[in-house]
Structures are given as C-alpha cells and as structure tokens.
Amino acid sequence: MVERSNDELEQVYAASTPGELNAAYAGWAEGYDRDTLAAGYCLPFQVLAWVARYVKQDSGPLLDAGCGSGLSGPYLSALGYSHIEGLDFSAEMLQLAGTRDAYSELKGATLGEELPWDDNHFAAFFCTGVFTEGHAPSSSLAELCRITRPGGHAIFTVRDTIFHSGGFDAMLAELAGRGVWRRLEQSPSFRAFALDEPDVLVTAHVFEVLA
C-alpha cells in the first residue's frame, strides 16, 4: 500500500457510504486544491485534451459531471467553450466552483441518481476522477447519456481497480449493445497524479452518444 499524501485524501478513499464521502469532502474543501495540486493531480486538465479533440466550441452546453471545486472550468473557458454547467454532490465544493467565474450554472446532484436536466440537454459531458473507489457507480453513465443529445460526446475516466469490479466493463458494453453510444477512443492506463499516488491509474474513454 502506498502511503497517502494527507489525512483528507485517506478519508476520501476510506469512505464507505455517501454520507461519509460527503463529510470527507466537506472537511477537505478548503484545502482540496492546494493538496491535490501539490500531489500533481492532472485529471481536471488532462481531460480537456479529449474535449478539445472531439467537441467543437460552438456545439452547445457542456456538463462537468462531478465538477468538484471547478478546476477544469477556467481552462475550458480559455479554450473558447462559453457554456459550461457543473454538478456535484458536495455543497462546499460547488461553492468553490462558483468562485471560478467559468460556469453558467452549477447544480447539486448525485451521480447514480436521476439528474435535474431534460433529455438531450448537453452537447457533451466530461467526468474525471469521479469513477473511482467509493464514488459514483457505473449506472451513472446511462443517466448522463440521457441528458446528452444524439451526436454528442461522453468523455470520462475510470480507475483501473474498479473497471471490472465496479461493473464498468459490463456497462460500457451494455450501452453499446443497446445502441446508446459507440466507442471512439480508449486510452492506455495513465497516472492520475504526476507526483504522488503512483498506484492510482485510470483509463480515459470517449463515446459518441447515439440515442
């Protein structure tokens, strides 16, 4: 076991219920950006390469699903994306995201439950660092596709340790089999943290939503 870089991160990994996870993020919100960036957390920025590759700037609203403190928002805005919405289950993290001046709307919502948007609302969603141990379930992907329009894109990372045990392999195949989406790209495994946490590996996935 690799030693964690701080107690707050340890509490996040150890959370076994939604309440424990919410409490862990509430207690960590103030120092979250400082601690994760010091550890070399790169996912909020790395995902923008896939967004820019597949999603045109004028495609329509984008959803930062599990936006946390909103680290992606300002950099996506700098790339020319003007309509970015965000969701997160943590009120404390949403408050931080609201200070970025990059999101047109932020909503409190929990991945794995019904989301507060109409069908076909978004041109794309992106979701990084959320499909990991003790966080959002693989079933979240079907609901995220519901609120993404046909021809839109699904861009997300999954931690290697839960890709099979968390049912993500089965869910990806099920949605493809039902004609909900088609795969465009899957990355090799790469580190979520450039400096610390070398055991935290993820893969990135890109799909075109069909229905």
Q: Give pLDDT tens digits along the chain (211 positions).
A: 234 445 555 555 554 555 655 555 555 556 778 888 888 999 999 999 999 999 999 999 999 999 999 999 999 999 999 999 999 999 999 999 999 999 999 999 999 999 999 999 999 999 999 999 888 999 999 999 999 999 999 999 999 999 999 999 999 999 999 999 999 999 999 999 999 999 999 999 999 999 8
3-state secondary structure 126-175: EEEEEECCCCCCCCHHHHHHHCEEEEEEEEEEEEHHHCCCCCHHHHHHHH
- Domain holding 119, by residue range, is 42-209
**Which run of H or of E encompasses 207?**
strand 201-209
DSSP 2: P
Note whether residue 55 is domain-resident: yes
Note whether residue 20 is domain-resident: no
Note whether residue 36 is domain-resident: no
For residue 114, the domain's CATH number is: 3.40.50.150
With beta carbons less than 8 A apart as the criterion, state whether 2 and 199 touch. yes
Note whether residue 15 is domain-resident: no
pLDDT of residue 3: 41
Number of compact structural domains in the chain: 1
Whole-structure pTM value: 0.87
With beta carbons less than 8 A apart as the criterion, state whether 147 and 164 touch. no
Note whether residue 154 is domain-resident: yes
Note whether residue 124 is domain-resident: yes
**Which run of H or of E encompasses 18?**
helix 18-38
pLDDT of residue 39: 87
pLDDT of residue 1: 29
Note whether residue 18 is domain-resident: no
pLDDT of residue 43: 96
Q: Give how far the C-alpha of residue 103 lies from the chain's centroid of Cα atoms, to the nearest Å.
A: 15
Distance CA 128, CA 155 (A): 8
Note whether residue 143 is domain-resident: yes
